[in-house]
């Protein structure tokens, strides 16, 4: 079994620090069922690839391991695919051989360990129970670009057809820790077979490794069930615990990160200051019909509902889970009819033109643009300023300069793991002025939170008006 991880982040050989394995050496480690080798087929400043090869001893596998293959007869104990495929053995090897990288620890390059860099993982033989479609359903919601090719049974005999295995490439700009974590959890899920007994320890491990992504994953039930070997009571407990942790934060990607961001900003009650300022600005603009794009759990919607000046309120989010939580928080079901008529929630994306965004006095996008890939920002501009074209637009985003004032935030790290970027004041103002100019709006800027002479305020707001 071969797993390679490639980066083009420069200097690419920093991958050696991230994995805590020197690019010039070939190292061998004893693992439970054989050996694991780590070496670098290429290691230049431009491109670096680390390879993890598992050399599993098929005889060692069955010795003293009654459960393995017992039911399948003796031959199956010795002749099986386990040594060659990406399965729970690879997960164990990742934890044993690349443990610090999996945890995100890196003593030589701590900031780099938490910085998303371009990564490509190649897996030579992946058993996909559920086929390529399931493989995609597992990795694409996490933002991976997935390439999969069926491996022929025997290249010399194409007429024999394909084997049940795939050669898989996963590409994403992410941290090494996230990539390894996703592989660690999802490879055994794809294989749908675990080589060791599954008990409560495994459940705890799954919840720990799944922090920040599993609760929101559209396939979470199937992932949990397969991971826990379809043991119903463990599966039920896992789902309950996942969702119990989850009812605070709607952010599609990342409830854990959201909480970290909230904790970071808590001292300032920055969120309250932000909401207060937005309401004040909207009232000053005379906006009575307001749509909140990327409304999340609906905090701003709640504030507007309490104020009779807002006659029509809409909340839009790409995450159905966020909308469910917003509806529950706002108690939509139990709302008196007159009140209920003032508010509407619907799923939508602020990077796709949507006629439902039209007809409002103001559009808000609060702490949302930094979640959009920079390549999609132009689409957002078009959707809001050209197509919806409200009288006013209110946009807030973090001021990255302020991050040095958050003591618990490591240098160079963004406030939230799903942030695609965080801008300085010059960057945000430059962007906002250009957009305003191009679409016939004026724009003014309002700092939110405590003002620091050197780095400004933690949140920056642009108020656009026609």
Residues in contact with ligand SAH by the rule CB under 6 A: 250-252, 294-296, 299, 317-319, 322, 349-351, 366-368, 371-372
- On whether the CB atoms of residues 186 and 138 are closer than 8 A, the answer is yes
Q: Which is nearer to ligand SAH, 181 or 459 (CB)?
A: 459
Q: How far apart are CA 31 and CA 27, in angstroms?
A: 13
Shortest distance in whole angstroms from residue 140 CB to ligand SAH: 15
Select from 219, 223, 116, 128 the least CA-distant residue to 168.
128
Q: Which is nearer to ligand SAH, 178 or 367 (CB)?
A: 367
CA 266 to chain centre: 23
Shortest distance in whole angstroms from residue 441 CB to ligand SAH: 21
Shortest distance in whole angstroms from residue 420 CB to ligand SAH: 10
Q: Where are the alpha helices (DSSP H) in 267-415?
A: 270-285, 299-305, 320-329, 337-340, 377-381
Q: Which is nearer to ligand SAH, 238 or 372 (CB)?
A: 372
Q: Which is nearer to ligand SAH, 191 or 254 (CB)?
A: 254
Q: Where are the alpha helices (DSSP H) in 45-175?
A: 58-62, 74-78, 88-97, 99-103, 110-113, 131-139
- On whether the CB atoms of residues 363 and 313 are closer than 8 A, the answer is no
Q: How far apart are CA 395 and CA 399, in angstroms?
A: 12
The CB-nearest residue to ligand SAH is 296
Shortest distance in whole angstroms from residue 390 CB to ligand SAH: 16
Q: Which is nearer to ligand SAH, 102 or 366 (CB)?
A: 366
To the nearest 10°, the Cα dihedral for 389, 395, 400, 404? 180
Shortest distance in whole angstroms from residue 437 CB to ligand SAH: 24
To the nearest 10°, the Cα dihedral for 282, 286, 288, 292? -20
Shortest distance in whole angstroms from residue 18 CB to ligand SAH: 28
Shortest distance in whole angstroms from residue 440 CB to ligand SAH: 24
Q: Which is nearer to ligand SAH, 101 or 372 (CB)?
A: 372
Long-range contact set of residues 403-412: C-beta below 8 Å, sequence gap at least 24: 404/455, 405/452, 405/455, 405/458, 406/264, 406/265, 408/263, 408/264, 409/264, 410/110, 410/111, 410/114, 411/111, 412/111, 412/114, 412/115
**Among all chains, which residue has been given the structure tokens 């991976």?**
144
Q: Which is nearer to ligand SAH, 189 or 372 (CB)?
A: 372
Q: Which is nearer to ligand SAH, 245 or 251 (CB)?
A: 251
Shortest distance in whole angstroms from residue 270 CB to ligand SAH: 11
């Amino acid at each position: 079994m071969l797993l390679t991880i490639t980066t083009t982040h420069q200097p690419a050989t920093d991958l050696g620090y991230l994995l805590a394995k020197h690019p010039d050496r070939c190292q061998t480690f004893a693992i439970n069922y054989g050996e694991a080798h780590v070496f670098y087929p290429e290691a230049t400043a431009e491109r670096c690839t680390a390879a993890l090869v598992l050399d599993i001893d098929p005889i060692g596998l069955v010795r003293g391991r009654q459960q393995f293959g017992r039911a399948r007869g003796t031959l199956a104990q010795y002749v099986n695919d386990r040594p060659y495929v990406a399965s729970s053995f690879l997960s164990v090897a990742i934890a044993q051989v690349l443990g610090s990288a999996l945890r995100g620890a890196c003593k030589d390059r701590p900031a780099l360990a938490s910085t998303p860099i371009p990564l490509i993982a190649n897996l030579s033989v992946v058993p996909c129970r559920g086929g390529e479609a399931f493989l995609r359903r597992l990795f694409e919601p996490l933002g991976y670009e997935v390439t999969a090719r069926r491996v022929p049974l025997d290249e010399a005999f194409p007429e024999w057809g394909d084997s049940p295995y795939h050669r898989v490439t996963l590409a994403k700009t992410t941290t090494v820790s996230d990539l390894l974590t996703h592989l660690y959890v999802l490879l055994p899920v794809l294989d749908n077979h675990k080589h060791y007994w599954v008990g409560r320890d495994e459940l705890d491990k799954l919840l720990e490794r799944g922090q920040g992504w599993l609760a929101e994953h559209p396939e979470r039930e199937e992932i949990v069930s397969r991971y826990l070997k379809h043991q119903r009571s463990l599966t039920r407990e896992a789902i309950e615990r996942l969702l119990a942790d989850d009812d605070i934060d709607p952010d599609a990607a990342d409830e854990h990160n959201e909480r970290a961001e909230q904790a970071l900003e808590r001292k300032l009650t920055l969120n309250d200051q932000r909401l207060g300022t937005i309401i004040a600005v909207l009232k000053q603009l005379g906006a009575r019909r307001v749509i909140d794009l990327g409304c999340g759990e609906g905090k701003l919607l709640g504030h507007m509902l309490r104020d009779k000046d807002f006659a029509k309120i809409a909340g839009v989010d790409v995450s159905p889970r966020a909308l469910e939580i917003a509806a529950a928080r706002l108690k939509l079901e139990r709302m008196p009819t007159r009140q209920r008529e003032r508010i509407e929630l619907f799923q939508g994306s602020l990077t796709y033109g949507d006629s439902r965004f039209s007809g409002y006095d103001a559009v808000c996008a609060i702490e949302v643009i930094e979640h959009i890939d920079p390549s999609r920002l132009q689409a957002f501009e078009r959707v809001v300023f050209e197509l919806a074209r409200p009288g006013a637009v209110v946009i807030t985003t973090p001021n990255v300069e302020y991050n040095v004032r958050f003591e618990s935030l490591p240098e160079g790290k963004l406030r939230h793991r799903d942030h695609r970027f965080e801008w300085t004041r010059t960057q945000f103002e430059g962007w906002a002025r250009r957009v305003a100019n191009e679409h016939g709006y004026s724009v003014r800027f309002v700092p939110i939170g405590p003002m620091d002479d050197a780095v400004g305020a933690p949140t920056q707001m642009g108020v656009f008006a026609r």
